[in-house]
Chain A
Amino acid sequence: MQAFAKAFWKAPITAKFGVLAITVYVLTAVFAPLLAPYGQFQVVGSQYLPWSAAHPLGTDNLGRDMLSRIIFGARNTVSIALIATILTFLLGTVTGFIAATLGGWADQVLSRLVDSLMAIPTLIFGLMLLTVFGTSIPVLICVIALLESTRVYRLARAVAMNIVVMDYVEAARLRGEGLWWIMTREVLPNALSPLAAEFGLRFCFVFLFISALSFLGLGIQPPTADWGSMVRENATLISFGDPTPLIPAGAIALLTVAVNFVVDWFLYHTSGLKD
């Protein structure tokens, strides 16, 4: 903890800003019901009210309080993105490690499958899959996990490839350890640092992907408060010169920027580029 505090103190200003912003987001998400002046589904006035003391950011297209929905959006959007990223990682690293550890035809089959999935643009494939399977939150999470895990697979396989040729893995194999042991006890601990950086980056991509889908009307469905769909629902305000819809969009942008800054710092720190 002290080492972390020391490293943090010496971190560049961008990383400090990133850590601070992420903390604020997490606190907002956790304490959303306490912070928000109104409920997220509660209709509190007429549509598109301007900014006022009672409604600091006005009301939306159905007369719900904008500020409250943005605060609840932190909880909904971020938690769904986080779950999707974790699932993406489980799927990607497990298959990637299996491919690297087993090698041979298992590697060939998995890699060719991933190659063909990656050849289809993610957003287009996502749109197709969501049309076919419908747009509920579990389906959304699974579709995103499937599509994004291909990228994690690539990295996990590449990293593990360099580890499975090490002598200690050979020793473990000769001891007769099983596939699961080798993956979790030998490969995983040595692959943690690139995977941790990838987790941050992947979270950004998943988060942006969900937001784009929500913006197109296929992601998190109304009436759940979600930043992407809030931009879509209130976009007309912009042409009247009211910048309110930029706030949820900005909230998305700020979180991704913050995570990127922290990942950048982390990569710099672990890659030994400290000259």
Chain B
Amino acid sequence: MRQILTLVAQRLALGLLILFIVSIIIAFVVELLPGDTCQALMGQSATPETVQACRAELGLNRSAPLRYLDWITGMLTGDMGSSLANGRPISDLLGTRLGNTFFLAGLAAAIAVPLAITLGVAAALYRDSLFDRGVNVATLTSISFPEFFVAYILIYLLAVQAGWFPGISNVSGGDVGFGDRVYRTLLPALTLTLVVTAHMMRMTRAAIINLMASPYIEMARLKGIRRRRIIVKHALPNALSPIINVVAINLAYLIVGVVVVEVVFVYPGLGQLLVDSVSKRDMPVIQAGSMIFAAVYVLLNLTADVLSIVTNPRLLHRR
């Protein structure tokens, strides 16, 4: 047990270090921009005096490390500065949108994870059958599709032709109940599901098949246990560690892949905000948004690491 705790603590420390480096990289990239926030803010009407005054007000005339420190403490305490485009505080802009993005990703994960694991186990169970080969080609195909292609096909088939779902996910207007919200978010969530299921399923199948050659599985087979029971009771627990790992990596991808899908469905999430801000060159919002996305991504990958350590049977039962 102590061993696991040390390993987990090491991982957490490494994760924090990476998060710190990432924040420095993001802050540094903004430093490369010609001009600064004040010039962008004032545009054509800037005189040297007003720019100076503005810099003093925003604290831009101080050295880069100090400004970095300001920014990062601001990020941690929820004060992220204000948008260039409309002057509103960034935390207001991000608040509800972050919730929307997590709702969409959560819904997609709730569909994709059970589906992928069930399909993966089934493909391993009926290995080399027609079902297995069909699933293999289907997943290879869906990995290769761009997200927007999947999204527009779903819109075309399910929203325009069949008319079952709205083609635009409007979840911001008024108070939308939970059921209604799920209904309006279902189409983007399905898109994300199709995008991530394939990878998780292939890894599940590969992890189980990898184990099928090990001696203890052969032993179980010689004892005459049925194939289904061998896979579910004997192989699956040992394959759990790589499976959890790939699930967490795909969840991290969900948060990011969400950007394109949100734009397609005009879903009011963080990704949409980020893309809008990029076209307006609204640097403070881009910086804050990127930092949040990167933080979630790092944290989920960290969770993957920690969980795969914790679920590794070899580490759990070491005397």
Interface residues of A (CB under 8 A from B): 14, 115-117, 119-125, 127-133, 204, 208, 211-212, 215-218, 228, 231, 235, 238-241, 243, 245-246, 249-250, 252-253, 256-257, 259-261, 264
> For the complex, what is the distance from the CA of A122 to the CA of B290, rounded to whole Å?
11
- 8 closest A-B pairs (Cβ-Cβ)? A256-B144, A249-B149, A121-B256, A116-B21, A257-B144, A253-B145, A124-B293, A119-B18
The interface bits of chain B over 244-264 (1 if a CB of A lies within 8 angstroms of the residue's CB, else 0) are 000000001001110110011
> For the complex, what is the distance from the CA of A17 to the CA of B140, rounded to whole Å?
14
Q: Does B281 contact A (CB under 8 A)?
A: yes
> For the complex, what is the distance from the CA of A162 to the CA of B62, rounded to whole Å?
49
Can you give 6 contacting A-B residue pairs, CB < 8 Å?
A127-B259, A212-B148, A215-B148, A218-B278, A238-B167, A249-B148
The stretch that binds A, out of B96-104, B186-194, B222-230, B294-302, is B294-302
**With a CB–CB cut-off of 8 A, which chain A residues contact B152?**
231, 235, 238, 245-246, 249
Chain B CB within 10 A, most for which of A14, A115, A119, A238: A119
> For the complex, what is the distance from the CA of A235 to the CA of B287, rounded to whole Å?
29
**With a CB–CB cut-off of 8 A, which chain B residues contact A252?**
146, 149
Q: Which one of A121, A122, A215 contacts B146 once the chains associate, using CB atoms below 8 Å?
A: A215
Q: Which one of A216, A238, A257 contacts B260 once the chains associate, using CB atoms below 8 Å?
A: A216
Interface members, chain B 23-78 (any A CB < 8 Å): 25-26, 29-30, 32-33
Q: Is the CB of B160 within 8 A of A264?
A: no
**With a CB–CB cut-off of 8 A, which chain A residues contact B153?**
246
> For the complex, what is the distance from the CA of A215 to the CA of B156, rounded to whole Å?
18
Q: Which one of A121, A123, A239 contacts B167 once the chains associate, using CB atoms below 8 Å?
A: A239
**With a CB–CB cut-off of 8 A, which chain A residues contact B148?**
211-212, 215, 228, 231, 249
> For the complex, what is the distance from the CA of A128 to the CA of B146, rounded to whole Å?
21
**With a CB–CB cut-off of 8 A, which chain A residues contact B18?**
115-116, 119
**With a CB–CB cut-off of 8 A, which chain A residues contact B22?**
116, 119-120
**With a CB–CB cut-off of 8 A, which chain A residues contact B149?**
231, 246, 249-250, 252-253
**With a CB–CB cut-off of 8 A, which chain B residues contact A115?**
18
Give the distance to chain A from B229, nearest Cβ to Cβ, in Å. Answer: 26
> For the complex, what is the distance from the CA of A132 to the CA of B264, rounded to whole Å?
24
**With a CB–CB cut-off of 8 A, which chain B residues contact A261?**
140
Q: Which one of B32, B144, B294 contacts A120 once the chains associate, using CB atoms below 8 Å?
A: B294
Number of interface residues of B (CB under 8 A): 51
Q: Which one of A124, A204, A231 contacts B274 once the chains associate, using CB atoms below 8 Å?
A: A124
Q: Is the CB of A131 within 8 A of B278?
A: yes
A127-B275, A131-B283, A264-B140 in contact; A120/B297 too (CB < 8 A)? yes
A216-B275, A253-B149 in contact; A128/B256 too (CB < 8 A)? no
Residue of B nearest to A249 (CB): B149
Residue of B nearest to A135 (CB): B278
Q: Does B155 contact A (CB under 8 A)?
A: yes
Residue of A nearest to B263 (CB): A216
Q: Is the CB of B301 within 8 A of A249?
A: no
Q: Is the CB of A211 within 8 A of B146?
A: yes
Q: Which one of B25, B167, B259 contacts A116 once the chains associate, using CB atoms below 8 Å?
A: B25
Residue of A nearest to B141 (CB): A257
> For the complex, what is the distance from the CA of A117 to the CA of B255, rounded to whole Å?
18
> For the complex, what is the distance from the CA of A129 to the CA of B278, rounded to whole Å?
10
**With a CB–CB cut-off of 8 A, which chain A residues contact B289?**
124
**With a CB–CB cut-off of 8 A, which chain B residues contact A129?**
29
> For the complex, what is the distance from the CA of A116 to the CA of B182, rounded to whole Å?
36
Give the distance to chain A from B34, nearest Cβ to Cβ, in Å. Answer: 9
**With a CB–CB cut-off of 8 A, which chain A residues contact B275?**
127, 216-217
Q: Which one of A123, A231, A243, A257 contacts B156 once the chains associate, using CB atoms below 8 Å?
A: A243
**With a CB–CB cut-off of 8 A, which chain B residues contact A243?**
156
Q: Does B286 contact A (CB under 8 A)?
A: yes
Q: Is the CB of B286 within 8 A of A119?
A: no
**With a CB–CB cut-off of 8 A, which chain A residues contact B301?**
119
Q: Is the CB of B281 within 8 A of A131?
A: yes
Q: Does B143 contact A (CB under 8 A)?
A: yes
Interface members, chain B 114-161 (any A CB < 8 Å): 137, 140-141, 143-149, 152-153, 155-156, 159-161
Q: Does B86 contact A (CB under 8 A)?
A: no
> For the complex, what is the distance from the CA of A115 to the CA of B260, rounded to whole Å?
25
